[in-house]
Chain A
Amino acid sequence: MADKESSGNKKVSRRKFLVRGGLGTVGVLAIGTYLFRNPIRRAILEKVNSMDIEYLGSTDNPMLWFELGPANEIILHSPKIEMGQGTFTGLAQMAADELDVPFQNIKVVHATTDTGNIDQFSTGGSTSISGLWQPLRELAATFREMMKLKGAEKLGVSVSDVTVADGRVSANGKSLFYSEIAEGVTSWTIPDAPVLKDINTYRYVGKPLPRVDLEDKVYGTPMFGLDAEMPDMVFGAVVRPSKIGAKYISATTDKAEKMPGVLKIVKEDDFVAVVAESYIEAENAKQAIEVVWETPDNLQQEEIVAMMTVGNGTSSIIQKQGDALEGDAVVQMEFRSPIGAHAQIEPNGVVASVVDDKATIMISTRVIGITRKEVASRLGWDEEQVNVVPTYLGGGFGRRLHTPHAVQAAVMSKAVGKPVKYIFSREEEFQHDMFRPPTHHILKGSLNEQGLLSGLEHHFVSGDVGNNSALIPNVLPTILGADVGAIRGAFIQYTAVPNHRSVYWHVDLPFATSWWRSLGLLANTFAIESFIDEMALKADKNPIEFRLAHIGDDEAGKRLKEVIRTAGEKSGYSEDVKDGKAMGFAASVDAGTPCAHVVEVSVEDNEIKVHKVTVVLDPGLAVNPDQVRAQCEGCVIMGMSAVLFEQMKVVDGSLTPTIYGPYEMALMKHAPKEIDVILLQGKDKPGPVGEPPLGPIGAAIANAVKRLTGKRLQSMPLKLT
């Protein structure tokens, strides 16, 4: 028998690989070294340069990925959070194929900080499937090979004589389930370089399987952060200011102390809170606390708009070719986007138990590692004393990438010696959101004698997106002096235009702004693609052909052109107004994923109505085409909501409105009756999906409105009156 040590396999002790009893039998631990391949910095640069995104997570600890149960079921501990994007389902498909087990045998759960393989960065950036594509399959293949080697040994045959299928290893008419193979094993042989299967042999990847969480979500199973409970749990509420920039000074709490159900008033240097027996009692008592705030002068919306004007703040050129545009022939237009709220339906919430020397935090979070770090730091503890248990999210959209409420709940729990649940009110959720920053854009363009663009420039100003967020100080510097989030979608994709540039301006806003699904993409694409349409009209050219004429012939350019061509064909794009409806076209590339939208729009009583949207997306390999479609449909509707309805305003120093309804959003009646999604596959691995389809919608609608009414709408939300 060949010496395993010398044949590329290494023996590892049980202690290192079998860390957990699982469901009565073995648990198998896989190593984390695969995740170190790509330095984070390079990955970020790639992201900004619209290349493929690699896995951003990292951890120094070994990681528990798969647990094997007695019925041959496999629990996959996901380092990524499920927030609706379908990641759990895609990961299960990838794992099932490489593990060689039936799809229904895979159960996906969130990893906790105690189980180790949490993502130290975040769940976000549309990277969950694309980033784990290689590492997860390699880990699964490693697991399969371990089973194969041990299975052969137990069957008393050589490895080359066994076959692996459906979660069992077989030879000579005998077979053993993985769970049987693992029984009693104390030492495993780990192959160094597992060979991945041929993608064409996959049974699950590429299939539109139903979501793994579908039934739980239809039958109302508790799964979200706000559903979390702990024994003996009580409820906390923190008093928050309604004014921007207000600083906590002191509080009078006599009245609140005597309110029904109140257990304790918690006064800290930076906040005051109340803990009570029930949620309602805590909320009622909170209202009775009188707080002295130090408040700056009342800000008004006009001041914010004036502040957010290109030319204010600091600037950097993020893209440059050829000369700057000058002269009378240059066409110039400006565009604006407002402050946007996340408005996810599940408010932020947390249950924290800080008892004795152990803290457990159950929370809707996307930054598990940061949540743990911040709680440990406030308590003055080691991170190992804090276990963060992430839950399903009732929506992410860029929210939950900072969780200071976990710290506050931990402080309250420590004060009362019991687990404390703390939920944001909707008013607090709106007032203390970390908003999508408002933007202002100036576009410049010039045409040559053939009616083609000789120059194109995008000058834009944004507040923070990535800068000053919880993620940035630890991981990301700025790219070329610009905010990595604000510049998403800000580049000129028409690189065949001889003179083109993109110039970023940054203004510090007096309130927190941050990540919002697709980051700068929505507003930047709205501005650039509206302007391109305007230039096509000036050149008297078909907007699709006009776009195609200005895109380069590199790999990315080819994929974008194919998406644009397909969208034109499949939608039957026409510049004519028919039956009171006009069509609008726009395209964008985000994180390497090109997307085009064609919309059919009418105007009734000055209200813009979207009847049909054709989406063409090239996400590369679609691990679950149905969920890719769902992301496209969701992006269309969320994008329409932002483009047609949503805006926060600063009124007398407060961010308003603070409730759905006044914060107008798309409802059932606004959703298009038809959304036709066409998926192209321009490469053989998965690319980002969750955000790229948000790009074109704003400009596509504005371009249709222009063709229908002759009016060029230059500010979101788009209104005709």
Chain B
Amino acid sequence: MKISMQINGQSHVVELTDEYTPLLWVIRDMLGLKGTKFGCGKAACGACTLHVDGEAVRSCSYPVKFADGKEITTIEGLGDATNPHPVQQAWIEEIVPQCGYCQPGFMMATAALLDKIPNPTDEEIDDNIINVCRCGTYYRMRKAIHLAAEKQSALKTTNEPTNS
């Protein structure tokens, strides 16, 4: 079957026989976007987290058929060196990554969290950021999440239209 998706703002049509192929492998192997990682294949670690219509989704367990007609954002589409997302800026300022493998998943989960809860408390972070990091970068991540929230709200304040 044919699946049409917007990925990072670009239209893609992929054709494949098994519509239950996880979205992760379509993104990584058919479309060549390697920023989304394979960790467990069972939605247990979160390394494969990306956004489907703005929602954080663990793509290793998300059949591609459900992505038909949807808008998908991966770490490559979140931001880049010339136009980094506030979450990425915060991750750089706090020097969060060690091995780095799980980090795209965490950044995608964080970006989705901040869209829903712009200024999360520690408890809200604990409840919502449930990916696994083996290097143990949680301590810096928490600082980066708070910093990203600050950056994002500052950005929104600047961009809001004024009444004058």
Contact = CB atoms under 8 A, between A and B. Distances in A.
Interface string B121-164: 01001110111111111111110000000000000000000000
5 contacts: A214-B97, A392-B99, A667-B138, A668-B126, A669-B130
Interface in B6-40: 17-18, 21-22, 25, 29, 32-40
A381 interface: no
Contacts of A46: none
B99 A395 contact: yes
Contact of B132 (A347, A660, A673): A660
**Best-buried of B38, B84, B88 by chain A (most CB within 10 Å):** B38
Contacts of A667: 126, 130-132, 138
B107 interface: yes
A359 to B, nearest CB: 23
B134 A343 contact: yes
B100 interface: yes
B97 A347 contact: no
Nearest to A425: B41
Interface string A592-604: 0000000000000
Contact of B134 (A220, A229, A344): A344
A218 B97 contact: yes
A83 B95 contact: no
Interface string A650-676: 000000000111000111111111010
Given A659-B40, A668-B131, A672-B139, 19 more contacts: A84-B98, A85-B98, A210-B92, A213-B97, A260-B17, A280-B18, A345-B101, A346-B39, A347-B38, A394-B102, A395-B99, A630-B140, A633-B139, A634-B137, A637-B137, A641-B136, A660-B132, A667-B132, A671-B136
Given A260-B18, A426-B42, A668 B95 contact: no
Contacts of B130: 667-669
Given A394-B101, A633-B136, A634-B135, A668 B142 contact: yes
B138 A637 contact: yes
A224 interface: yes
**Best-buried of A219, A220, A394, A670 by chain B (most CB within 10 Å):** A220
A648 interface: no
Contacts of B142: 668, 671, 673
A226 B92 CA distance: 24
B66 to A, nearest CB: 16
Interface of B: 17-18, 21-22, 25, 29, 32-42, 44-45, 47, 74-76, 79-81, 84, 88, 91-92, 95-104, 107, 122, 125-127, 129-142
Contact of B42 (A83, A224, A659, A672): A659
B49 to A, nearest CB: 12
Given A220-B74, A220-B76, A638-B134, A394 B37 contact: yes
Nearest to A284: B18
A571 B14 CA distance: 58
Contacts of B38: 226, 347, 423
A378 B103 CA distance: 36
A278 interface: yes
Contacts of B137: 630, 633-634, 637
Which 4 A/B pairs are nearest by Cβ-Cβ distance? A220-B35, A637-B136, A394-B101, A84-B99
Contacts of A649: none
A626 interface: yes
Contacts of B97: 84, 211, 213-214, 217-218
A346 B25 contact: no
A41 B76 CA distance: 47
A592 to B, nearest CB: 23
A50 B133 CA distance: 30
B76 A219 contact: yes
B134 A661 contact: no
A673 B123 CA distance: 11
A86 interface: yes
A229 B18 CA distance: 23
Contacts of B37: 224, 226, 345-346, 394
B111 to A, nearest CB: 12
Nearest to B38: A226
**Best-buried of A218, A280, A343, A665 by chain B (most CB within 10 Å):** A218
A177 interface: no
A393 interface: yes
Interface residues of A, number: 63
Nearest to A223: B100
Interface of A: 83-86, 210-211, 213-224, 226-227, 229, 260, 278-281, 342-347, 392-397, 423, 425-426, 626, 630, 633-638, 641, 659-661, 665-673, 675
Nearest to B107: A218
Given A219-B76, A280-B22, A637-B136, A214 B92 contact: yes
Contacts of B22: 280
Contact of A345 (B35, B45, B96, B122): B45
A280 B39 CA distance: 15
B135 A280 contact: no
A618 B53 CA distance: 49
A33 B40 CA distance: 44
A278 B136 contact: no
Given A218-B107, A227-B34, A346-B39, A635 B92 contact: no
Given A217-B97, A219-B81, A675-B139, A280 B132 contact: no
Nearest to B123: A669
A85 B135 CA distance: 9
A660 B44 contact: yes
A63 B72 CA distance: 46
A229 to B, nearest CB: 8
A668 B129 contact: yes
A42 B61 CA distance: 51
A630 B29 CA distance: 33
B139 A219 contact: no
Contacts of A426: 39-42, 44-45
Given A666-B136, A671-B139, A394 B107 contact: no
B34 A222 contact: yes
A668 to B, nearest CB: 5
B99 A86 contact: no
B134 A345 contact: yes
A219 B88 contact: yes
A226 B99 CA distance: 13
Nearest to A209: B95
Given A220-B34, A345-B133, A637-B136, A211 B95 contact: yes
B92 A395 contact: no
A534 B96 CA distance: 38
Contacts of B91: 218
**Best-buried of B17, B38, B101 by chain A (most CB within 10 Å):** B101
Contact of B39 (A215, A217, A347, A626): A347
Given A260-B18, A630-B140, A210 B95 contact: yes
A222 B29 CA distance: 12
Contacts of A214: 92, 95, 97
B42 to A, nearest CB: 6
Contacts of B95: 210-211, 214, 626, 630
Contacts of A397: 134
A346 B41 contact: no
B100 to A, nearest CB: 3
B41 A633 contact: no
A635 B39 contact: no
A347 B96 CA distance: 21
A276 to B, nearest CB: 12
B44 A659 contact: yes
Contacts of A216: 100
Contacts of B25: 278-280
**Best-buried of A84, A86, A216, A344 by chain B (most CB within 10 Å):** A84
A86 B98 CA distance: 7
